[in-house]
């Protein structure tokens, strides 16, 4: 029987969920059965497109339902994305199941974590350069990825709507953002003119807008790309830096300004397979 892994990806948008999908698709190719738990409202749609098992938990019940799901599924390994103590403190008392911590930039001043929150993981994966104070807290079995986790173009093949196809053929620039409408409009203003289309979950936008996933499928065809500075947006555009503009939006936990400030030269290799292999090694070790 294949090792089993349960990936907890809390987040009300597409960010954590998309990263989990990228890793779980790789895990499946490595022979590791994986399930994603999320509170994202896009869980069902993404599950259908990716053909992965995705279970949605309600935000207000997450602190109770996440440990309950872990007990019901009894996986070999569980993954805590971003938050070492969990989204709502559900892992303050570490479960008996071995856990992997996926460490992304985190505003420590906003995340009330005990000093021992970073200890006791079977593996910690640092998936981007972290702030020094954050990096110093990581301990135990630690892997710092040489690149980025991303859902590569074509991993989920989704046809674009015909009007968007025509716009891309004409050389349109893309505004891509799953955040609130006012942030979408800030990106549109930054783009500053015609020849624009938006890929967004916002209900309204001042330019032609489309609900399309995953947006990275279309980046090679865009004249320019305007996004926030979330992890996935930066990871997906590292090979298109000359055609990419990112705005750092204020987030409670995600250090977008720090992420932009830490970027330097180099294309930023795709390290998704390396991350999945490290997780699979843990799962197989536990299974053995």
The pLDDT value recorded for residue 264 is: 74
Other beta carbons less than 10 A from residue 1's beta carbon: 6
Considering the domain architecture, whether residues 145 and 226 belong to the same structural domain is answered as no
Considering the domain architecture, whether residues 35 and 126 belong to the same structural domain is answered as yes
- Distance, in Å, from the CA atom of 6 to the CA atom of 49, rounded to the nearest integer, reads 19
Q: Name 190's Cβ contacts closer than 8 Å, sequence gap at least 6.
A: 226, 245, 247
The pLDDT value recorded for residue 53 is: 96
The pLDDT value recorded for residue 263 is: 87
Burial 193-224 (b: 16+ CB within 10 A, else e): eeebbbbbbbeebebebbebbbbbbbbebbeb
The answer as to whether 216 is a domain residue is: yes
- Distance, in Å, from the CA atom of 101 to the CA atom of 139, rounded to the nearest integer, reads 11
Other beta carbons less than 10 A from residue 242's beta carbon: 6
Considering the domain architecture, whether residues 20 and 53 belong to the same structural domain is answered as yes
- Distance, in Å, from the CA atom of 223 to the CA atom of 82, rounded to the nearest integer, reads 32
Considering the domain architecture, whether residues 166 and 281 belong to the same structural domain is answered as no
The pLDDT value recorded for residue 244 is: 97
> Which three-class secondary structure state does DSSP give residue 16?
helix
The pLDDT value recorded for residue 266 is: 55
SS3 sequence of 74-130:
CCCEEEEECCCCCCCCCCCCCCCCCEEEEECCCCHHHCCCCHHHHCCCCEEEECCCC
Considering the domain architecture, whether residues 258 and 275 belong to the same structural domain is answered as no
The answer as to whether 156 is a domain residue is: no
The CA-atom distances, in angstroms, between 260 and each of 53, 60, 109, 165 are: 33, 32, 19, 30
Considering the domain architecture, whether residues 120 and 180 belong to the same structural domain is answered as no
| DSSP labels, 229-270 | --HHHHHHTGGGGGGEEEE----SS--HHHHHHH--SS--EE
Place of tokens 């989920």: 156
Considering the domain architecture, whether residues 139 and 170 belong to the same structural domain is answered as no
**With contact defined as beta carbons under 8 Å apart, do 42 and 51 qualify?**
no
Considering the domain architecture, whether residues 256 and 278 belong to the same structural domain is answered as no
Closest CA to 226 of 239, 212, 237: 237
pLDDT for 226-275, tens place per residue? 999 999 999 999 989 999 999 999 999 999 999 999 987 655 789 999 99
User: Structure tokens of 59?
Assistant: 């935000």
The pLDDT value recorded for residue 3 is: 59
For the CA atoms of 122, 145, 24, 67, what is the dihedral angle to 10 degrees? 40
The pLDDT value recorded for residue 18 is: 96
* Structural domain boundaries, residue 168: 162-262
The answer as to whether 129 is a domain residue is: yes
The answer as to whether 52 is a domain residue is: yes
The answer as to whether 154 is a domain residue is: no
Q: What parts of the chain have a pLDDT lower than 70?
A: 1-3, 265-267, 287-288
DSSP state of 72: H
The answer as to whether 170 is a domain residue is: yes
Q: How many domains does the chain have?
A: 2
Considering the domain architecture, whether residues 76 and 29 belong to the same structural domain is answered as yes
The answer as to whether 155 is a domain residue is: no
Considering the domain architecture, whether residues 236 and 255 belong to the same structural domain is answered as yes
The answer as to whether 230 is a domain residue is: yes
Considering the domain architecture, whether residues 170 and 130 belong to the same structural domain is answered as no
Considering the domain architecture, whether residues 168 and 253 belong to the same structural domain is answered as yes
**With contact defined as beta carbons under 8 Å apart, do 223 and 215 qualify?**
no
Question: Residue 280 belongs to a domain with what CATH number?
Answer: 3.40.50.2000
Closest CA to 145 of 133, 160, 130: 130
Residue 58: exposure state from Cβ atoms within 10 A (0-12, 13-18, ≥19): exposed
């Amino acid at each position: 029987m294949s090792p089993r892994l349960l990936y907890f990806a809390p987040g009300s948008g597409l960010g954590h969920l998309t990263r989990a999908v990228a890793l779980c698709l790789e895990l499946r190719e490595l022979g590791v059965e994986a399930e994603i738990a999320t509170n994202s409202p896009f869980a069902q749609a993404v599950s259908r497109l990716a053909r992965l098992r995705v279970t949605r938990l309600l935000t207000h019940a997450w602190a109770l339902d996440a440990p309950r799901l872990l007990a019901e599924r009894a996986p070999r390994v569980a993954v805590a994305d971003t938050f070492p103590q969990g989204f709502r403190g559900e892992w303050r008392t570490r479960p008996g199941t071995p856990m992997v911590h996926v460490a992304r930039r985190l505003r420590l001043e906003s995340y009330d974590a005990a000093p021992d929150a970073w200890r006791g993981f079977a593996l910690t994966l640092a998936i981007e350069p972290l702030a020094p104070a954050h990096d110093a807290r990581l301990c135990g079995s630690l892997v710092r990825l040489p690149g980025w986790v991303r859902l590569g173009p074509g991993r989920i093949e989704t046809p674009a709507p015909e009007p968007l196809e025509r716009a891309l053929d004409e050389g349109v620039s893309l505004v891509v953002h799953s955040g609130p409408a006012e942030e979408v409009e800030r990106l549109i203003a930054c783009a500053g003119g015609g020849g624009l289309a938006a890929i967004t979950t916002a209900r309204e936008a001042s330019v032609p807008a489309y609900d399309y996933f995953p947006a990275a499928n279309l980046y090679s065809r865009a004249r320019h790309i305007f996004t926030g500075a979330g992890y996935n947006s930066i990871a997906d555009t590292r090979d298109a830096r000359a055609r990419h503009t990112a705005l750092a939006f204020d987030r409670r936990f995600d250090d977008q300004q720090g992420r932009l400030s830490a970027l330097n030269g180099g294309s930023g290799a795709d390290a998704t397979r390396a991350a999945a292999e490290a997780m699979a090694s843990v799962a197989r070790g536990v299974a053995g």
